[in-house]
Structure 1
Amino acid sequence: MDHAFIIGFAAAIVAAIVFYSVYARRKGISEGKEFDERQLIVRGKSFKASYITLAVLLIAYLLAGSSFGYTGILDPFYGVILSLLFSVFPMIAVRIFNDSYFGRGDHSKRNLITIGLLSLFNLGTGLYRIISTGEPFKTGEMNVSLVSLVVGVMGIAVIAMVLIRNLMLKKAEESEDDE
């Protein structure tokens, strides 16, 4: 992988974080979020689940690489990126199923639409790259097209979890109304 790509990628991430923090501060986005005590406890549990998952995945990736030798199937950069993506998933799941994913006053419908659009874009990008270039089948190396597919699938899974949780809450409300 070219060093200019990595430096450019890192610079783009830093620029996006700086831009969003300035935007959020001016719009007052981060000020209106309030979480109750139960939600704060769930958030702590979700961070713990995410941290443990990340540690296990990185150790497994390290052991697989040192035991079997680097085979060229998964570049270390993409291995770490995929480990980070998979470690975020338990955090999201714990928060969704314990009602700690949105604070009071959040625009959850708008957030879900944004996640859905980004997921579809990533799925489309990943599938297009695999179909048009034959990656990873020609080179035998998994790369950014795999990361795009994983991001797309995870985004759709997040939306599915939110919808399942909403159905569970709706059924619970209906059963309370019947009693």
Structure 2
Amino acid sequence: MWFMSIYLKAGLFAGFIVGLVVVAIFLRFTKTDGDSKCKYDERQSNIRGKAYKLSFFTLMIYNVLYGFVDMTVEKPLLDTISAMVIGICLSITVNIVYCIWKDAYFSLNENPRKVLIGFGFIGIFNLVIGCINIINGTFVTNGMVNFRSCNLTCGIMFIVLFATLLAKKVRYGKGEQEAA
């Protein structure tokens, strides 16, 4: 991203720092005991290990496939950061969806309702920013989807996670979900 102005670089850096602060606040907000550290039982830890493995292999396969596609097309459809964010969001989605369905996502000291609300809010917020980038015409540069697609990608990921949490809650009932 050597071609960016100093203001754009400063804005991206500031956005990254704000994102880290929001994550720290979110972690504290979702805990029932005020601690930001998650506490899992042995069963949850084992399942989470399998989920990490699945997400790792998902990212590996995505990178190989993207590499082959990138080699075979004359002009790539995505810039590098957009392609990498898609891969990262795909692997995160695999990890979290697997953990949700195996009852290993929520820690013992976490409030599922607050996480559900947070995922919905974060998803909508990022989708709005992504749509604004599309409407403003800054989403594509020289025929390639650029880094401004990252909000849309993250928004889609959080909406998928929100929908998964909601589906799990509807399918298995409120009582069992909050016990997780």
TM-score tier by shorter-chain length is 0.7 to 0.9
Q: Contact 1:127–1:145 (CA<8 Å) still a contact in 2?
A: no
- Note the 1:64-75 alignment, pairs <5 A: 64-69=69-74, 71-75=75-79
Q: Which one is further off, 41-50 or 104-113?
A: 104-113
Q: Write the distance in 2 (CA, Å) between the matches of 1:85 and 1:141.
A: 19
Q: Write the distance in 2 (CA, Å) between the matches of 1:143 and 1:74.
A: 6
SS of corresponding position for 1:158: helix
Unmatched 5+ stretches in structure 1: 174-179
Q: Normalized against structure 1, the TM-score is what?
A: 0.77
1:31-73 Cα deviation digits (max 9, x unpaired)? xx3212211111011001100000011111112212334x142
Moved over 6 A (4+): none
1:69-100 Cα deviation digits (max 9, x unpaired)? 4x142111211121111111110110000011
- Note the 1:22-41 alignment, pairs <5 A: 28-30=35-37, 33-41=38-46
Q: Normalized against structure 2, the TM-score is what?
A: 0.77
1:60 aligns with 2:78: no
Q: What residue in structure 1 maps to residue 80 of structure 2? A: 76
Question: What's the Cα RMSD here?
Answer: 3.1
1:114 aligns with 2:118: yes
Larger gyration radius, structure 1 or structure 2: 1
- Note the 1:21-170 alignment, pairs <5 A: 28-30=35-37, 33-69=38-74, 71-133=75-137, 135-136=139-140, 139-170=142-173
Identical-pair percentage: 26
Q: Contact 1:96–1:161 (CA<8 Å) still a contact in 2?
A: yes
State the Cα distance separating 1:140 from its structure 2 match: 1.8
State the Cα distance separating 1:153 from its structure 2 match: 1.6
Q: Contact 2:116–2:166 (CA<8 Å) still a contact in 1?
A: no
How many residues align structurally? 166
State the Cα distance separating 1:108 from its structure 2 match: 1.9
Q: Contact 2:85–2:153 (CA<8 Å) still a contact in 1?
A: no
State the Cα distance separating 1:162 from its structure 2 match: 0.8
